[in-house]
Chain A
Amino acid sequence: GAVVSQHPSRVICKSGTSVKIECRSLDFQATTMFWYRQFPKQSLMLMATSNEGSKATYEQGVEKDKFLINHASLTLSTLTVTSAHPEDSSFYICSAQIVEGTRSGEPQHFGDGTRLSIL
Chain B
Amino acid sequence: AQSVTQLGSHVSVSEGALVLLRCNYSSSVPPYLFWYVQYPNQGLQLLLKYTSAATLVKGINGFEAEFKKSETSFHLTKPSAHMSDAAEYFCAVTHSNDYKLSFGAGTTVTVRA
B41 at the interface (CB under 8 A from A): yes
On chain B, the residues within 8 Å of A112 by CB distance are: 42-43
Q: Closest residue to A102 on the B side, CB-wise?
A: B99
Range of interface residues on B (Cβ < 8 Å): 20 to 34
Interface residues of B (CB under 8 A from A): 32, 34, 36, 41-46, 49, 51-52, 90, 94, 96, 98-101, 103-106
Interface stretch of the complex, out of A11-19, A41-49, A63-71, A81-89: A41-49
Assess whether B32 is in contact with A105, with CB atoms less than 8 Å apart.
Answer: yes
A113 to B36, CA, bound (A): 14
On chain A, the residues within 8 Å of B103 by CB distance are: 43-44
Assess whether B43 is in contact with A6, with CB atoms less than 8 Å apart.
Answer: yes
25 A-B pairs in the complex with CB atoms less than 8 angstroms apart:
A4-B43, A34-B101, A42-B105, A43-B90, A43-B104, A43-B105, A43-B106, A44-B44, A44-B103, A46-B100, A91-B41, A93-B44, A95-B44, A102-B96, A104-B51, A105-B32, A105-B52, A105-B94, A105-B96, A107-B49, A108-B101, A110-B44, A113-B42, A113-B43, A115-B41
